[in-house]
Amino acid sequence: MIERVLDFLTGRAPPLLTESADALATAVAALLIEAARMDDDFNAAERAAIERLLAERFALAPAAVQTLVDEAERVVRDSTQVFPFTREICARMELEERVQIIEMLWEVAYADGVLDPQEDMLLRRVAGLIYVPDGERGMARLRALEKLAAAKGARGGGT
C-alpha cells in the first residue's frame, strides 16, 4: 500500500484508469469532467452535456452512461494530472477522433454559457497533449459554438 502511494506521489507509476470499464471511454469521460470542474462549478448543464456526449460517442444506454460518469469522477478525484487520460486517447484514436474529443470538451466548457479562463487553458493543454493542431482546435471550437447556438434556438432561446 505504501509503495502504491509513493509511486503515485513521485510519478513512478501513473494511476490506472480502470480495469472494470473501457479505458478509452473512461479517459474521455475523465477529461470532460475535468473541463466541467475547472471553474469550480460542476453544474447541471455541464453534467447533462457530458452525459449526452458520452451516450452519443460510445452508444451507451443511460444506466451505462451514469456508471461511466461515476467511474470517471472517481478516477479524476484520485488523479493529479490529465496525462494518463491523454495518453490513452493518443494511443487509441486517430487525429480526426482526437479533434472530435476537443470539440466535445468545448461543448462542456461552454455548457454553462461562459468560458472560464481555466477551461480555456485546459483545452489548450489537452489539445497539445493529444497532438491536435491549433487550427483544428479553433475549428472544433467554432463547431461546438454552432451546435450550442442551434440547440438554444431549437429550445426557443433565440440567438
32-47 residue pLDDT tens = 999 999 988 889 999 9
Q: Where are the domains of the chain?
A: 2-154
91-144 confidence digits (pLDDT tens): 999 999 999 999 999 999 999 888 999 999 999 999 999 999 999 999 999 999
Distance CA 5, CA 1 (A): 6
pTM of the model: 0.84
- DSSP string spanning 11-48? TSSPPP--SSS-HHHHHHHHHHHHHHHTTT---HHHHH
Least confident of 69-78, 115-124, 130-139, 148-157: 148-157
Cell of 126: 489537452
Taking residues 69-76, report their average pLDDT.
95
Residue 18 has pLDDT above 60, yes or no: no
Greatest CA separation for the chain: 56
Q: 22 pLDDT exceeds 60?
A: yes
Mean pLDDT calculated for residue range 61-76: 96
CATH class of 2-154: mainly alpha
pLDDT, residue 39, reads 84
Per-residue 3-state assignment (H helix, E strand, C coil) for 79-136: CCCCHHHHHHHHHHCCHHHHHHHHHHHHHHHHCCCCCCHHHHHHHHHHHHHCCCCHHH
pLDDT at 29 over 60: yes
What percent of the chain has pLDDT above 90? Answer: 74
Q: Which of 42-46, 63-67, 85-89, 134-138 is predicted least confidently?
A: 42-46
Element (H, E) at 148: helix 134-154
Residue 36 near residue 42 (C-beta atoms within 8 A) = yes
